[in-house]
Amino acid sequence: MADLIVDATLDDTNRDLKAIHEEFSRTKENTERNARIWGQQDLVDAMTEFVNNWYVHRDKLNQKLGKLSERVDQACSAWGEAEKQLTASLHVEDNHNA
């Protein structure tokens, strides 16, 4: 019987998706807060214009990121439950073989 090997990649992916989703959610606020770091007013105006013009695409992408994150959450939960069941079945087999 083949060994089942799963690492923490799914949890890492989920954490990263949530971080990206959060950053996308705060883009407008971050742009306004960080306007002073750009220095020159032309650059501030360009960055503000970019953020304002891109909101439709950003919102659509952020919605999809949110849905993907929810699905990865479900996969993480399902894997956790499957792992518990597999562990329990091994303990039952060990008790019967003892």
**Per-residue pLDDT tens over the stretch 74-86:** 988 888 888 888 8
- Is residue 96 pLDDT above 80, yes or no? no
Rounded to whole angstroms, how far apart are CA atoms 89 and 75? Answer: 21
> Mean per-residue pLDDT for 44-65?
85
Which candidate, 26, 3, 6, 4, places its Cα nearest to that of 75? Answer: 6
The model's confidence at residue 98, banded by pLDDT at 50, 70 and 90, is: low
**Per-residue pLDDT tens over the stretch 37-49:** 878 888 888 888 8
The whole-number pLDDT of residue 46 equals: 87
The whole-number pLDDT of residue 2 equals: 56
